[in-house]
Structure formats: C-alpha cells, structure tokens
Amino acid sequence: MDDDLMQYYTYVAEKGDNQAQVILGQLYLQGSRGLPQDRALAHQYFSKAAAADSPSAHAHLGRMYLEGSPEVRQSNATAFTHFTAAAEAKNGMGHSGLGLMYLYGRGVAVDYALAVKHFKAAVEANSVDGQVQLGIMLFHGLGVERDLTKSIKMLTAASQSGSVVALFYLAEINAMGFGVPRNCRSAAELYKNVAERGKWGTLFADAFNDYKMGRLDTSLVRYLLLADLGYEVAQSNVAFILDKAEDSVFPSNETYRRALVYWDRSAAQGHALARLKLGDYHYYGMGTEVDYEAAVNNYRQAESAPSPQALFNLGYMHQRGYGVKQDLHLAKRFYDRALETSADAYAPVALALISVGVMYAWQQFLSFFGGSSVPENSTLPDFIMNLLLEDWDVLLAVVLFIVLVIVMIILQRLTMELQRQRLLRRGLAAAAPVQNAAPAQNQAPLPHLIPDPVQE
C-alpha cells in the first residue's frame, strides 16, 4: 500500500472512523498490501470498531476468537457473542460464523437445521462463506435433502468470488463425477488453481519488485521457480525477460531457445499473447528454424482471442503465400477483421490493402498480357512489397514528412502574401490626398507637373 494512503487510514482510524479501523484490521489480519501480519494489532483495530457497534468488526472478532491464535486466545463463548451481534445487524459473515458453530458444535449443541438457516441468511447477505458452507451441506445432505445440482450452483458462485474451498470441492466433483459427467481435464485445472493459492505464490511480489529495481537476474530466477511450479503468469514473464536478452543467467546463444520453451508452456495454458509470440518465433526463426506453417498454425490459434496482430499477420502470410496458398481475397478479409478488432491498426491495414490492390492489378496485368494462366504466388518486385508491407512504418513516416513540408511551404507562401497585402494597404493609405486642407502660409505653390499643350 502507498505510504501516503497508509498514513491517511491510520490518521482517520485514530480519529475514530469505524470503516478505516475495519480496513486496517483486515490488512493486518491477512498481512496483505505489503503490510506484515499482526493479529494483535488487527484485534486492537477490530475492538475499537466493535465498541462503536460495527457489524463487520464484530464478525471479524468472532472469527478470530473461533479460530484462536497465539495473540488471541480461543474462546467459543466470546466468538458466539460477536457473531450474534453481527448477525442481528444482518451481516453475512456473522450468520456464516453462527452456522459454523452449529454445524460443528463449537460451544453449542450440533444443530444442522439451525446451521442451514444461518447459512441461507448469509447467502442472502451475499456472503461467499455462506455459499460455500451451504453448498457443502447440500452436497452431503446435512440438515437438508441432498441436491447435487443446487450444491454445484452454490459452489460455482463461490468459486467465481475466489473461494479456494469451493474450487477444491468442484475439483472433487469433476474428478469423481458427482452430479456431472466425469471430467478429468476440468478437475486437473481446478486442482491446479487450488495449488497455485499456496504461500509460495507470494514470490510473485518479490520477483516483480526485483524487476522494477533493475535486478533482472534475481527476478528471472524467482520467475523460473514459479514457472516450473506451473504458474502461467510466471512462464510468460520468464519468456518476456529472455526475449529482451538483457539477463546474464543464460548464454546469449540459448536465450531465444529457452524463451521459446516458456512461450510454448504459457500458450498451452491459453495465453493468446504467448501464442502470438510463438508464431513470430517460427516466422523469424528465433530459437528454432524458420517454419511458416507452424507460424500460421499459431497465428490461427491466437486470432480467436481476438488478436488484431495475429489477424494482420495471417493476412500478410496469405498475401505473400508463406505457409499457405496465396489468396488475396482471404488476405483482404483478414486485414479487414484486424481493423474491425482494433482501430489502432488503421495505418498498417490501409497500406496493406493498397498493396493487395496493387498486387491484384499486377496479377491481372500478367494474366492479360501473359496468357490465361498466372504463375502461382506471383507478386510484385520484392522492394515494392517490402516498402508497402514490411517497411510500412518507414513509408508512412516519409509520406507524413513530405506532407508536413508541403504544408509548411504553403503556410509560408500565405504568410508572405498576407504581409505584402498589408504593406500595400499601408502604402496606399499614406499616399492618399488630404481633403479640405488649407495651404501653408509663405509656401510656394507646387509646380505643375503636367506640361502645357503645344500651341500651333
């Protein structure tokens, strides 16, 4: 958390703001946003807010007393008191806490019906814990008739809010085929999602901070560890750092080859940008041999994202006939789709469409003068194609520069003409005769400039 924001929350909390006290209590309880975990300080902030009858503070205090810790001694009675105070204010976490106590008999007699009642009230208050626990009770048929359909619905809603317990139960349901057809692939993805929520995931913050501070080698090593654990984000970050070739961990001749491996792993987990980079690596032969067909396959998988760059690349490869049969009509279609996907692609797509039109006219010219058959992959001279497609940015810069020079010349001519007209008007105004002006005294009359007519 930003230091200024932290100071603000601390100042407001000390002034008695309940919301700020609860926020700080949650941050110190979980040890998030860069703050160290401090249960004693969290208990202090929650107690201040609870003294002002904050339902959320009562609910968090109930959870702390129910679970117990070295800083807060476990007490079912105190937990029940705080949960009750929160539930009376219709707090979802309070109802969920009471449901847990009745479900497991913590300080009270086990009562499944009462537990279900509190969990339903928690769900009505949009409590994720309530959704999880009610889904579990529906799954096992505790206090209610077993209903796998409603259980899966509850657990799915909770998983979308990030509940690890819900993800685990959904993984079990898919692995065993409870209420749904058995799906090992979905189960493996859910198990992986649960495993990635472990404490080792905190290495991400350290790796990112190392990267921001310029310690690329240290950041790369941390990301490599996380990448080998299966984190897709870490795999793409490793490939990104290796792609820049600024580290000293691996020899320079292995950089692109290793980057290709991690781009491939990231793409296998559905990362569209990694799939696009795989296409580029195969197209340019970076870390592997040039393989246009592999590039086309990767671009086709990346276009479903949708990726305007992948669509443009597919249009280019169909236009040039790289890895696929040359098809100008299909190339134009891909270029049009790239422009529909992103308005930023207007300039390159416009030049590419011009090149398609010129190439089509060239093929028609060859067909007209060279017979009915046109050679396959017939194209314009390479320097023209490179200018229109591969060096389109250079061509655009040159065109804009020429336009700018022309505009400056026109503006300069207009400025000079306006100055000339202004000076001319001033000269005419100065030379105009003064009307009704009396002649000065003792001043000789001006000579007559027009000669007298010659008399015969």
* pLDDT reading at 180 higher than 60: yes
Confidence of residue 440 (pLDDT cuts 50, 70, 90): very low
Distance linking the first and last C-alpha atoms of the chain: 113
Q: Which residues of 315-346 are buried (b: 16+ CB within 10 A; e: fewer)?
A: bbbbbbbbbbebebeebbebbebbbebeeebe
Q: What's the whole-number average pLDDT of the chain?
A: 85
Tens-place pLDDT, residues 207-246: 998 999 999 999 999 999 999 988 999 999 999 999 988 8
Tens-place pLDDT, residues 294-338: 999 999 999 877 889 999 999 999 998 999 999 999 999 999 999
Q: Which of 159, 228, 237 is nearest to 193 (CA)?
A: 159
42 vs 28, 68, 129, 264, CA distance in Å? 5, 13, 21, 44
User: What is the sign, positive or negative, of the torsion defined by CA atoms of 70, 75, 81, 87?
Assistant: positive
Q: Residue with structure tokens 């505790």?
A: 142
pLDDT at 450: 46
The answer to whether the beta carbons of residues 312 and 338 sit under 8 Å apart is: yes
- Give the tokens for residue 352: 């590419």
Confidence of residue 432 (pLDDT cuts 50, 70, 90): low
49 vs 15, 16, 57, 80, 284, CA distance in Å? 11, 8, 6, 18, 62
Residues 6+ apart with CB under 8 A from 107: 76, 77, 79, 80, 101
3-state DSSP percent of the chain in helix, strand and coil, to 5: 70, 0, 30
pLDDT at 374: 44
* pLDDT reading at 430 higher than 80: no
pLDDT at 305: 78
Residues 6+ apart with CB under 8 A from 327: 318
Long-range pairs for 310-316: beta carbons < 8 A, 24 or more residues apart: 310/272, 310/275, 310/276, 310/279, 311/335, 311/337, 311/338, 311/341, 312/338, 312/345, 312/348, 312/349, 312/352, 313/276, 313/279, 313/283, 315/352, 316/352, 316/389
Tens-place pLDDT, residues 348-377: 888 888 888 888 887 777 777 655 444 455
214: left (phi over 0), alpha (psi -120 to 50) or beta: left
pLDDT at 351: 85
* pLDDT reading at 390 higher than 90: no
pLDDT at 433: 58
Residues 6+ apart with CB under 8 A from 202: none
The mean pLDDT of 89-99, rounded to a whole number, is: 93
Asked if the bond preceding 308 is cis, omega within 30° of 0, the reply is no
Q: Residue with structure tokens 């060096």?
A: 391
Q: Which of 42, 118, 131, 137 is nearest to 80 (CA)?
A: 118
- Give the tokens for residue 387: 């200018």
Give this prediction's pTM.
Answer: 0.64
